[in-house]
């Protein structure tokens, strides 16, 4: 790929990308981070980039471990996991990146698996097309320091039952033969099986990625355990981006502002001749 | 007006002091603006507390604004000829700044038992001794103001907000000035609130007339000399922070590079960002970041994308930016970091001035991380030093730290308005599209600077970053390469010295004693040296604006003098820096770490002692 790249300092990628985009809004700017970068040392920069809805494309490679420093727990490491710095098990409750993005009023969140290239390509393409800040979480394996951390959902034997690929406007079905679905029972999401207990396709929720209210998207992003882990584009709502608002203000002031050049400004207000 | 005795003076210092909500900063500004417009040279010094509203009537809440007006003004003056004290706390804490025999105007209505107790007075503060030492005018400012308010149907609380106008009226009378400028200001400022204009004009006039009716005032009217040594041209009043902002804007226009400022509010640097945020029409792209780190990082990103990128901060903020500054050094990107220094360490004295970030600016990064450090030396020349910092950054592909301080930043001074056509050219080192020989860290022979290839330029795509690179661009951990790149980065900064003028010596260059200063202390040092030479005591003086690298003749100057005293508002950071480079030159120090600028008096006293040794 013919790209320009800036390998910045740990945690600060979002802040640097923000400056790049502000200086030249015509650029397509991508930010690559891991779970330590985005959730720990650079957590502040991530939530504010998301909150502003600046037109950045952010990917978070989440392997639930600090790999580059050889195996310490990260803010997404599973509770109780034994790592080099948690020899008796972590007592840190982990972050769910999707929930964090929703909490910061994010306008785009997708999740994909490192072992499903087609889904990853789809998510990235959709992210690139999104006007505003997009975040794509890639559940990634770390062969060396956290092998099989996502195996419980990614193994071929279980993947169809433990994950659900959401598609806008389509019923939330999963399982090898799409025989299972998600139903909202008035209080929470639950897994139901088509044909069992009178369940029909009409009982299954239809995915709406564009609903502004974060409630259902938050529930979907939160799923795991008894519920399948949601993949694909979970949230994709329209909201004027920071980039657009910024350029509109600039254009307006450039056109109507009082001072057109520095000489105007230097000679403005109270001045006098000696 | 009865027969007046007008006292002619070369210069006059007026200090306004009151509770932090009493409008003293505004009174001071209006007085200095009016003085400048009527032909005086001026310098101002706002001295205010860190608390937005400290408890009412306490010494912690006293806010001061000193104005020095006259013929040729270098500094905001040591002690004042006229002191305005709007409450007992101001009187108690500020009287030490009044010259013996000064006119002291107090709002006598505020000297209630409760307020005096809060200020720490156990008995009547106006002792006979005090009355003999000063001309104390006990003006019933509050009651007069409230009476005028009452006549206009304004409640007491609202009327009280105009008490500062009464005091200002007295000062205009005492300095033989008219009320015209302030009238015009009020009409402009409150165009949509005619009632506010009427009230303030009436109170201002009442203050003026009150003074006219006081017999004692008639022998205390000062006519201050007009500035007659000033260069011909168009002038304005400007604060250091605004001048800094304008200098950056000017550099952007001159270089053709978009101006980007990524900053986080911090006292006393915030006004740089506040000023630039107004100027989108001039292309200023200001980004209020989520923290200091994001401020500098966004600027580094903007620089990578081709902007004249800046970040503004003060001491604690510079600490937070340290790691990112290392990245700017490593990626060799142009960047201007403005540090408006304040009292430290930690939160320290946020609203007070100091020069104690020098070591941090020079050394505060991991690894061998040289960058350029320059310092402004007056509120007005912040404009030129900001411009200059940007020019060096863009032409030498390096981060530059510009040191100003709270005294320069908040203080104001007359500024001779330059014409943009007379400002020096700035030539950014942009790479050429599709240059087959482009290498990210290829250097030119003269400056040793690399070329700037911007994302989006055709045929130049490359990567930069915090990891060590080889000159062609790719990462390298090769020991020889690291040694070479370290040397090259240093050499690039060293070579900036080839493009800066020689250091000058003023005062009497043939003296035995050389006074050395840097940055924001030049006003007081210049005046101290000038007065001593006028008094027949020979003193030479050199003041540094280029800190790293130093002008090439620095050693030649230092080696010429038997006695050297390095004066700075810290514990000797510049002295230490000079000693490491010129160990052969014995240097003494004069230091002050009180959050206050130098006074001319203390400097002269110290220099005189050194001459006698």
Q: How many domains does chain B have?
A: 3
- Tokens representing B482? 């690291």
Residues of the domain holding B593: 506-612
Residue B1 lies in a domain: no
Picking from B81, B295, B168, the residue whose alpha carbon sits closest to that of residue A45 is: B295
Picking from B25, B41, B46, B415, the residue whose alpha carbon sits closest to that of residue B238 is: B415
Residue B348 lies in a domain: yes
In sequence order, the 6+-apart residues with CB closer than 8 A to the CB of B403 are: B339, B341, B355, B357, B358, B361, B373, B374, B375, B376, B519, B547
CATH number at residue B533: 3.40.50.920
pLDDT (tens digit per residue) in A121-164: 999 999 999 999 999 999 999 999 999 999 999 999 999 999 99
pLDDT for the residue B3: 64
Question: What is the Cα–Cα distance from B248 to B312, expressed in whole angstroms?
Answer: 11
B260 DSSP 8-state letter: E
Q: Are residues B170 and B245 in the same domain?
A: no
Residue B321 lies in a domain: yes
Q: Is A27 in the B-facing interface, judged by CB distances under 8 Å?
A: yes
Among B194, B224, B254, the domain-final residue is: B224
CATH number at residue B159: 3.40.920.10
Per the prediction, chain B carries an average pLDDT of 95
Using CB atoms, pick whichever of B233, B258, B466 lies closest to residue A7: B466
Q: Are residues B160 and B29 in the same domain?
A: yes
Question: What is the Cα–Cα distance from B280 to A197, expressed in whole angstroms?
Answer: 64
pLDDT (tens digit per residue) in A215-260: 999 999 999 999 999 999 999 999 999 999 999 999 999 999 999 9
Q: Are residues B213 and B295 in the same domain?
A: no
Residue B469 lies in a domain: no
Residue B494: count other Cβ atoms within 10 Å of its Cβ: 13
Query: Which chain A residues are Cβ-neighbours of B234 within 8 angstroms?
Result: 267, 271-274
Picking from A245, A34, A7, A240, the residue whose alpha carbon sits closest to that of residue A137 is: A34
pLDDT for the residue A270: 87
Q: Is A259 in the B-facing interface, judged by CB distances under 8 Å?
A: yes
Q: Are residues B84 and B19 in the same domain?
A: yes
Residue B497 lies in a domain: no
pLDDT for the residue A137: 98
For residue B583, how many C-alpha atoms fall within 13 Å in the half-sphere facing its CB? Answer: 1
Contacts made by residues A152-161, CB under 8 angstroms, sequence distance 24+:
A153/A113, A153/A224, A153/A228, A153/A229, A154/A113, A154/A115, A161/A228
Question: What is the Cα–Cα distance from B390 to B400, expressed in whole angstroms?
Answer: 8
Question: What is the Cα–Cα distance from B406 to B350, expressed in whole angstroms?
Answer: 9
Q: Is B184 in the A-facing interface, judged by CB distances under 8 Å?
A: no
Q: Is A68 in the B-facing interface, judged by CB distances under 8 Å?
A: no
Q: Are residues B56 and B193 in the same domain?
A: yes
Question: What is the Cα–Cα distance from B262 to B258, expressed in whole angstroms?
Answer: 13
Q: Which of residues 169-188 of A touch B (CB under 8 A)?
A: none
Buried b (16+ CB within 10 A) or exposed e, B329-344: bbbbbbbbbbbbbbbb
Q: Are residues B156 and B202 in the same domain?
A: yes
Q: Are strands B506-507 and B284-288 parallel, antiparallel or unpaired?
A: unpaired
Among B191, B224, B257, the domain-final residue is: B224
pLDDT (tens digit per residue) in B170-225: 999 999 999 999 999 999 999 999 999 999 999 999 999 999 999 988 888 999 99
Query: Which chain B residues are Cβ-neighbours of A19 within 8 angstroms?
Result: 260, 262, 287, 297-305, 307, 309
Residue B140 lies in a domain: yes
Interchain contact, B466 vs A8, CB within 8 Å:
yes
B319 Cα distance to chain centroid: 20
In sequence order, the 6+-apart residues with CB closer than 8 A to the CB of A156 are: none
Q: Are residues B330 and B378 in the same domain?
A: yes
CATH number at residue B265: 3.40.50.970
Buried b (16+ CB within 10 A) or exposed e, B446-479: ebbbbbbbbbebeebebbbebeebbbeeeebeee
Residue B178: count other Cβ atoms within 10 Å of its Cβ: 12
Regions of chain B with pLDDT less than 50: 1
Q: Are residues B355 and B213 in the same domain?
A: no
Helix axis angle, B240-255 to B382-396, nearest 10°: 40
Question: What is the Cα–Cα distance from B44 to A61, expressed in whole angstroms?
Answer: 55
Q: Are residues B409 and B511 in the same domain?
A: no
Among B224, B252, B272, the domain-final residue is: B224
pLDDT for the residue B1: 45
pLDDT for the residue B613: 86
Residue B477 lies in a domain: no
Q: Are residues B217 and B125 in the same domain?
A: yes
For residue B275, how many C-alpha atoms fall within 13 Å in the half-sphere facing its CB? Answer: 20
Q: Is B226 in the A-facing interface, judged by CB distances under 8 Å?
A: no
Q: Are residues B185 and B144 in the same domain?
A: yes
Picking from B198, B158, B144, the residue whose alpha carbon sits closest to that of residue B23 is: B158
pLDDT at A25 over 90: yes
Residue B400 lies in a domain: yes
Question: What is the Cα–Cα distance from B408 to B402, expressed in whole angstroms?
Answer: 12
Domains delineated in chain A: 13-160 (3.40.50.970)
Q: Are residues B15 and B164 in the same domain?
A: yes
Minimal Cα distance from B226: which residue of A?
A: A274
């Amino acid at each position: 790929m013919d790209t320009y790249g800036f390998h910045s300092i740990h945690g600060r990628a979002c802040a640097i990308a923000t400056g790049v985009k502000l200086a030249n809004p015509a650029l397509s700017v991508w930010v690559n981070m891991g779970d330590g970068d985005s959730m720990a040392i650079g957590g502040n920069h991530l939530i504010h980039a998301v909150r502003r809805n600046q037109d950045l494309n952010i990917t978070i490679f989440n392997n639930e471990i600090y790999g580059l420093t050889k195996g310490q727990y990260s803010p997404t490491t599973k509770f109780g996991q034994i790592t080099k710095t948690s020899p008796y098990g972590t007592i840190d409750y982990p972050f769910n990146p999707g929930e964090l993005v929703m909490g910061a009023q994010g306008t785009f969140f997708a999740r994909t698996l490192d072992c499903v290239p087609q889904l990853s390509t789809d998510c990235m393409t959709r992210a690139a097309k999104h006007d505003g800040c997009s975040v794509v979480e890639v559940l990634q394996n770390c062969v060396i320091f956290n092998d099989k951390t996502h195996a419980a959902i990614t193994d071929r034997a279980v993947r169809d039952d433990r994950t659900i690929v959401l598609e806008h406007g389509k019923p939330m079905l999963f399982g090898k033969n799409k025989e299972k679905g998600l139903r909202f029972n008035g209080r929470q999401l639950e897994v139901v099986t088509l044909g069992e207990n009178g369940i029909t396709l009409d009982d299954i929720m239809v995915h709406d990625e564009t609903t502004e209210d974060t409630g259902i998207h938050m529930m979907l992003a939160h799923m795991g355990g008894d519920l399948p882990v949601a993949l694909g584009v979970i949230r994709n709502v329209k909201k004027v981006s920071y980039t657009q608002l910024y350029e509109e203000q600039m254009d307006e002031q450039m056109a109507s502002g009082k001072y057109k050049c520095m000489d105007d400004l230097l000679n403005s207000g109270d001045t006098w001749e000696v | 007006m009865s027969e007046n005795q007008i006292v002619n003076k070369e210069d006059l210092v007026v200090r306004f002091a009151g509770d932090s909500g009493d409008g003293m900063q505004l009174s001071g500004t209006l007085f200095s603006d009016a003085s400048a417009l009527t032909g005086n040279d001026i310098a101002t010094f706002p001295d205010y507390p860190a608390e937005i509203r400290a408890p009412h009537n306490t010494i912690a809440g006293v806010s001061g604004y000193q104005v020095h007006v006259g013929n040729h003004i270098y500094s905001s003056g040591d002690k004042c000829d006229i002191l305005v004290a709007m409450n007992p706390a101001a009187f108690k804490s500020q009287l030490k700044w009044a010259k013996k025999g000064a006119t002291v105007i107090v709002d006598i209505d505020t000297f209630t038992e409760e307020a005096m107790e809060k200020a720490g007075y156990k008995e009547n503060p106006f002792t006979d001794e005090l009355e003999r030492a000063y001309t104390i005018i006990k003006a019933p400012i509050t009651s007069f103001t409230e009476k005028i308010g009452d006549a206009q149907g304004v409640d007491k609380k609202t009327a009280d907000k105009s008490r500062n106008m009464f005091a200002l009226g007295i000062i205009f009378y005492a300095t033989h000035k008219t009320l015209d400028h302030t009238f015009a200001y009020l009409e402009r400022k409150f165009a949509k609130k005619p009632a506010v204009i009427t009230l303030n004009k009436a109170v201002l006039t009442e203050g003026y007339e009150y003074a006219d009716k006081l017999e004692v005032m008639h022998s205390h009217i000062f006519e201050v000399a007009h500035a007659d040594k000033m260069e011909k041209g168009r002038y304005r009043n400007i604060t250091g922070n605004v001048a800094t902002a304008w200098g950056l804007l000017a550099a952007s226009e001159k270089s053709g590079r978009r101006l980007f400022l990524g900053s986080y509010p911090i006292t006393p640097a915030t006004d740089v960002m506040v000023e630039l945020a107004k100027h989108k029409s001039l292309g200023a792209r200001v980004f209020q970041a989520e923290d200091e780190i994001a401020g500098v990082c966004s600027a580094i990103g903007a620089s990578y994308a081709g902007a004249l990128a800046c970040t503004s901060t003060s001491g604690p903020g510079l600490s937070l930016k340290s790691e990112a500054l290392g990245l700017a050094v490593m990626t060799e990107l142009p960047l201007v970091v403005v540090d408006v220094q304040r009292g430290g360490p930690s939160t320290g004295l946020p609203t007070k001035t100091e020069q104690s970030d020098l070591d941090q600016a020079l050394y505060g990064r991991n690894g061998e991380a040289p960058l350029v450090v320059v310092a402004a030396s007056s509120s007005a020349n912040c404009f030129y030093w900001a411009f200059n910092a940007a020019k060096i950054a863009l032409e030498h592909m390096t981060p530059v730290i510009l040191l100003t301080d709270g005294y320069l930043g908040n203080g104001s001074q007359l500024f001779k308005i330059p014409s943009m056509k007379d400002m020096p050219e700035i030539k950014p080192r942009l790479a050429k599209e599709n240059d087959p020989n482009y290498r990210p860290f290829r250097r030119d022979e003269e400056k040793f600077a690399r070329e700037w290839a911007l994302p989006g330029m055709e045929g130049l795509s490359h990567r930069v970053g915090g990891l060590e690179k080889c000159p062609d661009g790719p990462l390298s951990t090769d020991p020889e390469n690291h040694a070479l790149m370290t040397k090259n980065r240093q050499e690039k900064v060293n070579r900036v010295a080839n493009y800066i003028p020689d250091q000058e010596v003023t005062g009497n260059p043939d003296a035995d004693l050389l006074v050395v200063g840097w940055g924001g202390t030049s006003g007081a040092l210049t005046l101290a040296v000038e007065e001593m030479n006028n008094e027949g005591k020979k003193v030479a003086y050199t003041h540094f604006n280029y800190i790293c690298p130093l002008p090439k003749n620095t050693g030649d100057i230092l080696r010429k003098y038997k006695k050297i005293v390095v004066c700075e508002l810290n514990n000797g950071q510049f002295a230490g820096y000079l000693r490491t480079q010129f160990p052969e030159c014995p240097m003494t120090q004069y230091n002050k770490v009180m959050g206050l600028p130098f006074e001319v008096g203390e400097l002269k006293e110290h220099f005189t002692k050194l001459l006698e040794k």
